[in-house]
Amino acid sequence: MTNSAQMTALACLEDIQPSLSAWTRTIFDFGETAWREYQSAAWYVEHLKYEGFSVEEGSGGMPTAFCAHWTNGAGPTIGMYAEYDAVPGNCQDAATVKRPRPGLGEQAGGHTDPHSGLGIASLGGLLATKAAMQRHGISGTLRFTGEPAEKVRGSKPIHAAKGYYDGLAGMISFHPFYMLPLCNTARWDTHCGAAYAMIYRFVCDEPEDWVRASDAAPIPQAHSAVRAPGANDALVMMYMASKGLRDSMLPHQGGWSISEAILTAGQATADNLPAGLAEIQYMIRVPTLAMAEQVTAMFDRNAEAAAKMSGCRYERHWVSKSRPGLANHAMADIAYEALSMVGPPRWDETAKAVAREIQVNAGGIASDEPFIAELERLIAPREAEALLRRDLPPSQLNSTSDDYTDMSWHAPTARFYVARPALRSENGHAYPSWAMNALGGISATIDPMVTCASKAIALAALRLLEDKTARGAAMDEFVARTGGGIGGSNWLAPLCDYDPPIHFRWPEYVTTPRGRDWWIPSNPQATSSPARGETP
């Protein structure tokens, strides 16, 4: 049964639902990627200030992060947060056909999870909680952080190390579902694992010193003189050596992964001089910190060897060092009870018609029920846990990856999921990624998730504010699991010992004489006539 404050929050969300829908589309269309979410962060800051929040911009030394507070007198502080980063190479319009957003190419940023809906759902829950606190005189404080660069697990380890999650009675962490059985449920015991991300930079300072001095002509006179292979060769050797050793580094079980991305730094030249700079980024997702350290040591050896062979030196720059998650059953119960009161999201015939169009345009067959059945079902946390554990060894305590885990070591944390729209597979047909991304931008298909999650967040937050017993149980469990709370005998301290990696050449939108553009030219077509003998 909902109480009067919770009823007020739900009514508030019904009133602002059209705004939540429009705001979700706004962030979706920004499509800004890690560390470069300038418009998205500014949008949140402006709206939070309008709603009466005090906002610290650029929190933790991150230009696109923020920390907002609103208080209604002495009482517990409840934490919520927004993510808003997109992914390069996934620029999809909110449309039923494959096409990039207007004026951009497919390589621009786009929302995949989608963080556009994640952030606005959290904002909706925040505003509804505030409205209920004001109307019913509920004392306490709301803290709302803006978390950039989640796709590289960027901001939360930094915020955690700088104390932005300290002093919370509870943290509410929501994410659109992304794998079964974690659909309309809360995590129980098996939380996300550790992750390290780093950039290896190869720098060729003195290519002429690669071999002993000889009588060869100096470089200005003969570009074919003996000199170091250069930074590009070092990067390629690092890439191939690390990929070749991947099978030996970690076992083939447990949901671990190593991903790499080659970063462009503008070092290319039409001349035949050796490249002076090349960078490669790695993301290591593993169940334990020991495994992350093991892989990092191997990467260091590979980088050193590649640099020596190619006449370079190497640098390792941290992007993220995040801890595995800490369970809290009391918080999981609070979140799931709130979700149960709201019920799972529901998709109407308008949404289904949109989904059928996408099914056909993505090479499939339109079906009467285009969405997977689990989207409109709840699954209890213990039941989801049992299904998740079927494929994991008993010794593995964590699985998959997300950086909310750093929050869990500073406050009792609930991690819950609400279904996002996903197409049912007919006859084994695999849908392309653009179809999933489009469903996350079209209002008819993404709004049910945003509305449902907003309501669950508000109900959980109000439960923590009003129910001292439930709040105390969550904190008691946090203290017990950490061996005394922050600084306790079982507590994992923040791993962040680096500055925010904001100065690297992260993909971004730029302003040029052509207008606003992606750093890879948006227009894939030639802008001039082909030369004689070329194919237009």
The CATH number covering residue 289 comes to: 3.30.70.360
Per residue in 400-458, pLDDT (tens digit) is 889 999 999 999 999 999 999 999 987 888 899 999 999 999 999 999 999 999 999 99
Contact 88, 79 (CB under 8 A): no
Residues 246, 144, single domain; the answer is no
Contact 324, 288 (CB under 8 A): yes
Residues 39, 180, single domain; the answer is yes
Give the number of domains in the chain.
Answer: 2
Q: What is the Cα–Cα distance from 6 to 11, expressed in whole angstroms?
A: 9
Residue 398 counted as domain residue: yes
For the chain, counts of helices (H) and of strands (E): 12, 13
Residues 44, 106, single domain; the answer is yes
Residues 394, 295, single domain; the answer is no
Residues 17, 139, single domain; the answer is yes
Residue 518 counted as domain residue: no
> At which of 322, 350, 381 does a domain end?
322
Q: What is the pLDDT along the chain (536 residues), one digit of tens a residue?
A: 789 999 999 999 999 999 999 999 999 999 999 999 999 999 999 999 999 999 999 999 999 999 999 999 999 999 999 999 999 999 999 999 999 999 898 999 999 999 999 999 999 999 999 999 999 999 999 999 999 999 999 999 999 999 999 999 999 999 999 788 999 999 999 999 999 999 999 999 888 788 765 555 555 445 566 778 889 999 999 999 998 888 787 776 677 888 898 887 656 555 667 788 899 999 999 999 999 999 999 999 999 999 999 999 999 999 999 999 999 999 999 999 999 999 999 999 999 999 999 999 999 999 999 999 999 999 999 999 999 999 888 989 998 889 999 999 999 999 999 999 999 987 888 899 999 999 999 999 999 999 999 999 999 999 999 999 999 999 999 999 999 999 999 999 999 999 999 999 899 999 888 778 887 766 554 343 333 333 32
Residue 62 counted as domain residue: yes
Residues 301, 335, single domain; the answer is no
Enclosing domain of residue 223: 195-322
Residues 467, 340, single domain; the answer is yes
Contact 147, 65 (CB under 8 A): yes
Residue 16 counted as domain residue: yes
Residue 498 counted as domain residue: no
Here the tokens at position 455 are: 């309501």
Residues 356, 422, single domain; the answer is yes
Residues 205, 170, single domain; the answer is no
* Backbone dihedral angles phi then psi of residue 424, each to the nearest 5 degrees: -70, 135
DSSP 420-467: PP-BPPSTTPPPPHHHHHHHTTSHHHHHHHHHHHHHHHHHHHHHHHH-
Residue 509 counted as domain residue: no
Residues 208, 337, single domain; the answer is no
Residue 516 counted as domain residue: no
Residues 187, 201, single domain; the answer is no
> At which of 463, 482, 501 does a domain end?
482
**Long-range pairs of 36-40 with CB within 8 A, sequence gap ≥ 24:** 36/64, 36/506, 36/507, 36/508, 36/509, 37/64, 37/84, 37/85, 37/148, 37/149, 38/63, 38/64, 40/64, 40/84, 40/85, 40/119
> At which of 322, 346, 361 does a domain end?
322
Residue 307 counted as domain residue: yes
Residues 79, 207, single domain; the answer is no
From the centroid of its chain, how far is CA 281? 16
